[in-house]
Amino acid sequence: MTARPEPAGFTVDYLIEAGGRLHGRLRVPGDKSISHRCVMLGSLAHGETQVSGLLEGEDVLATLAAFRAMGVEAEGPFDGSLRIRGAGLHGLRPPVAALDMGNSGTAMRLMAGILSGQVFDTVLTGDESLSRRPMGRVAEPLARMGARIDTAPGGRPPLRIHGGQRLQGIDYRLPVASAQVKSALLLAGLYAEGRTQVHEPAPTRDHTERMLRGFGYPVSTEGATISLNGGGTLTGCAIDVPADISSAAFFLVGAAISPGSDVILEHVGINPTRIGVLNILRAMGASIDELDRRMVGGEPVADLRVRGGHLRGITIPADQVPLAIDEFPALFIAAACAEGQTRLAGAGELRVKESDRIAVMAEGLARLGVETQETPDGILIEGGGLGTKRVAAEIDSHGDHRVAMAFAMAALRAGGRVRVRDCRNVATSFPGFPVLARHAGLAIRTAGPD
């Protein structure tokens, strides 16, 4: 079954009965990271770009609306199909109002790189959650390239980007591993004089580099250094977006923690820079098989079969942290069901996501009877506690889509019914999540607030 969106704004809470198992063949929505980049590069290319499998979540639609506001013509999306008539790198027009990036930090940071190279001024805004997220990490290195970006106090949105600046390529060493900062600099580098080089302290997702090459733009990757020269041209192409491994992660964990589960997740992107969730779950003892491995549009794809079994707590390897940064809310649920203790360190990035995911997950796990200990950049989770509290639990997702879906899956092992509050933002990354989860066997329904 494929996920289908429910009406926008239809519900805000999830009610999930305890217990059950997952089964069947499922296809989660298209990869959000790749979908954003399809829209961006397709809009900046010469000629037509045809996209299939596009994620029709609110974040991606906000990115598409921004480019339409700058004069880009696009048909769709209809059932994941989108046709973009690119304006070229220098063909965008000034928008008449601020560009609203909704809930998406990815969109705002990557757009900052693109808009730094335009001849007109722009303002980037977002929702309440995005307005609390740090943007100085992209504004500062972009300023080194010659960009002029004003932020709110603390380096927060909105971003006011002054056009008409002369950008110069830079040699930049990322202080922390961040695909978003890397991508923002590479996209600004398209408009810069000379060569832009970015050095990574650890591997991060490489969708931007892969897609630039797919659009015919030369990008060099030598070890931990990614570089390109400005002044080239993007050429429209066809792109088939794989299913999002970050969305698949909830079903991977749900099946892994519930004995008797057997799920096949179809057409999932298994880019080597994104498979930390698979590596970590396998290290915990999960049974995950990759079926029919293939390449689709330059991205590796496979069908993933996961079966329920016995998990054990582990110390999460440091080199896997940046490869699984978005999947940790789901992985925390796996840790709560494992035997023994799971330790995570080096993940301070989780504290500045859509919520403080370390604190918010610790708060929710405590309501389910799970003992945790927070650290500045990680958490210790004592396994075996989930389900020992034989009462209904109410959990606040704090408007974080990944937290909401993680706790929905936790109900499979909970001791009573789980109510997850404030789930509206799930539509930003996974429209139709309750429908697909119910089809797979999760006893979930949606309801308005009390």
Does a structural domain hold residue 257?
yes
pLDDT at residue number 387? 87
pTM above 0.75, yes or no: yes
With cut-offs at 50, 70 and 90, classify the pLDDT of residue 391: confident
Question: Under a CB-based contact definition with an 8 Å cutoff, are residues 70 and 93 in contact?
Answer: yes
Point out the domain boundary residue: 220, 239, 258: 239
Does a structural domain hold residue 6?
no
pLDDT at 204 over 70: yes
Q: Give Dmax over CA atoms of the chain in angstroms.
A: 63
- Domain of 209 in residue numbering reads as 32-239
Does a structural domain hold residue 5?
no
Least confident range from 5-19, 90-104, 155-169, 279-293: namely: 5-19
Point out the domain boundary residue: 239, 259, 279: 239
pLDDT tens profile 172-198: 999 998 999 999 999 999 999 999 999
Distance CA 292, CA 348 (A): 36
Question: Under a CB-based contact definition with an 8 Å cutoff, are residues 200 and 224 in contact?
Answer: yes
The mean pLDDT of the chain is 95
Sort strands 48-52 and 238-240 into parallel, antiparallel or unpaired: parallel
pLDDT at residue number 350? 96
pLDDT at residue number 410? 98
- Catalytic annotation, pick one of 326, 396, 400, 422: 326
Quote the number of domains for the chain.
2
Contacts of 31 (CB under 8 A, 6+ apart): 55, 207, 241, 242, 243, 244, 245, 246, 269
Neighbours of 318 (CB within 10 A): 12
- For the chain, the distance separating the N- and C-terminal CA atoms, rounded to the nearest angstrom, is 31
Point out the domain boundary residue: 188, 216, 239: 239
Please tell me whether residues 223 and 361 are part of one structural domain: no
pLDDT tens profile 257-277: 999 999 999 999 999 999 999
Please tell me whether residues 23 and 76 are part of one structural domain: no
* CATH number of the domain residue 326 falls in: 3.65.10.10
pLDDT tens profile 296-320: 878 999 999 999 999 999 999 999 9
Please tell me whether residues 184 and 102 are part of one structural domain: yes
Residue 326 is a catalytic residue:
yes
